[in-house]
Amino acid sequence: MSRSAHPAGPRHADVVPEGHYSAPPADLNALDTKVWAHTVGRDADGVVTVGGIDVKRLAEEFGTPAYILDEEDFRIRARAWRTAFGHDADVFYAGKAFLSRAVVRWLHEEGLNLDVCSGGELATALSAGMPAERIAFHGNNKSAEEIERAVRAGVGRIVLDSFQEIVRVAHLAQSLGKRQQVQIRVTVGVEAHTHEFIATAHEDQKFGIPLAGGQAAEAVRRALQLDGLEVIGIHSHIGSQIFDMSGFEVAAHRVVGLLKDIRDEHGVELPEIDLGGGLGIAYTSDDDPREPHEIAKALTEIVSRACDAARLRTPRISVEPGRAIVGPTAFTLYEVGTVKPLDGLRTYVSVDGGMSDNIRTALYDAEYSVALVSRTSGAAPMLCRVVGKHCESGDIVVKDAFLPADLAPGDLIAVPATGAYCRSMASNYNHVLRPPVVAVRDGEARVIVRRETEEDLLRLDVG
Ligand code: LLP
């Protein structure tokens, strides 16, 4: 995941600190549109604005740290996916990236479906009015209670992940007098080029049923015999933060190969395939993600070519982007608390959040960008590490980035592209309170997930 080191930046040229950094950008005040949401810019005073509101006002009104989400940007991205895939395909937003009731309503309005993977996500989706038939229920170990709730609610599909689950869902559905539509999740044996913890299609991991050794075919064989199930398709998700389409291509070919084997053995053409999510976004200016229309074109062509070759009717395709929709829509707004230069190394900039609001840097060695947002500065670039307030030296938000050398306590800085897997993976480590999510649009800001309070923490601590 790391970029090449470059010797520019440290204050003593003879010592080159280890890190991910590349050369400082030509203009530290510029905001690269690749990593910032659509409506982000600077006003005449140099203060960053989003949705027509400046970050100083947001900080005053809502405090820091806070996730600031550009609703217009979310809707534009959701719509772009929907439009790119058209009416012959379905887009399921992956709720694990970030889910709240407001988000569910936006998705509903923009015509997207929703992928949930726990009872909590299901409850959020239903409570915000997402029609159950537009929900897909995922997970490698759904509890009996979760399965029952999903079946009773009438979710559109349950994605089955193991032999045990095939039987469990079938029995439950049957006992409720229902026939549940299901897909079977397979692992296609693709090595996605991403961090080990977020790659999911190689065989040595917990998700799905391997195509290898005929296991997936056996799973389909069993599922087809059970009255409580209606097998509607095959599911494959190869991993996350992927830029290279070749993994999807191999996955699609292998899934179509299975559809052909199923047709040959059972005389049944399954009507759907789901190719999962996983499309990468730009966290830094070095990343070059694909646009939804390119992805849609590539995936639909791959599937229809493979189906033509196998003389199969082209199934309905679905995809499950999470990060690619919500990731770029939000930034985390922090206040600088301390600035600590370490001679010959780098400057440690401590902010009022940290690994509790963004675990991705510590967990995946993820890279982020950062900018001074409460003002512009003409000062020279300074190599910084943005760290949090937690009692752990791995508490790093941005490993290496350049900020202006006159950065001072009280400045506001923002880390873009934190819409996905930051609030949803946030913790209370050190009893730090999880930040709010503030949605902005057309000059209005509203809290869609409120900041945690100490009362919230103490309410769980029952003594
Ligand atoms: N579909 C399935 C079945 C998934 O497991 C996932 C993600 C997605 C769709 C959505 O993937 P996306 O388009 O968001 O990449 N916490 C990690 C990512 C874990 C992804 C888990 N599954 C991270 O922060 O990078």
Residue-range definition of the domain harbouring residue 440 = 41-70+328-460
Do 407 and 452 reside in the same domain of the chain? yes
Is position 85 within any domain? yes
Mean pLDDT, the chain, rounded, equals 94
Q: Which atom of ligand 1 is nearest to the CA of 322?
A: 14
For ligand 1, pick from 323, 355, 421 the residue to mutate: most ligand atoms within 8 Å of CB.
Answer: 323
Q: Which domain-ending residue is among 264, 299, 324?
A: 324
Q: What is the pLDDT of residue 197?
A: 60
Q: Which domain-ending residue is among 324, 345, 374?
A: 324
Do 244 and 161 reside in the same domain of the chain? yes
Do 352 and 421 reside in the same domain of the chain? yes
Is position 11 within any domain? no
**pLDDT tens digits, one per residue of 263-315:** 999 999 999 999 999 999 999 999 999 999 999 999 999 999 999 999 999 99
Residue 286 sits in a domain of what CATH number?
Answer: 3.20.20.10
How many domains does one find in the chain? 2
Do 173 and 270 reside in the same domain of the chain? yes
Q: Which residues pair with 330 in a beta bridge?
A: 69
Do 283 and 364 reside in the same domain of the chain? no
Do 249 and 386 reside in the same domain of the chain? no
Q: Catalytic: 391? A: yes
Is position 23 within any domain? no
User: In this model, does residue 14 exceed pLDDT 80?
Assistant: no
**pLDDT tens digits, one per residue of 313-359:** 999 999 999 999 999 999 999 999 999 999 989 999 999 999 999 99
Q: Which atom of ligand 1 is nearest to the CA of 97?
A: 14
Q: Which atom of ligand 1 is nearest to the CA of 360?
A: 24
- Find the 419 Cα to ligand 1 centroid distance in Å: 13
Is position 142 within any domain? yes
Ligand 1 in reach of 228 Cβ (< 6 A): no
Ligand 1 in reach of 34 Cβ (< 6 A): no
Rounded mean pLDDT, 150-172: 98
Q: What is the pLDDT of residue 12?
A: 39
Q: Which protein residue's CA is at the shortest distance from atom 15 of ligand 1?
A: 278
Do 284 and 398 reside in the same domain of the chain? no
Q: Which domain-ending residue is among 267, 298, 324?
A: 324
Ligand 1 in reach of 97 Cβ (< 6 A): yes
Is position 9 within any domain? no
Do 116 and 64 reside in the same domain of the chain? no
- Length of the chain as a residue count: 463
Is position 34 within any domain? no
pLDDT confidence tier of residue 1, bands split at 50, 70 and 90:
very low
Do 97 and 47 reside in the same domain of the chain? no
Ligand 1 in reach of 115 Cβ (< 6 A): yes
Ligand 1 in reach of 237 Cβ (< 6 A): yes
Do 157 and 145 reside in the same domain of the chain? yes
**In the chain, pLDDT over 90 holds for what percent of residues?**
89
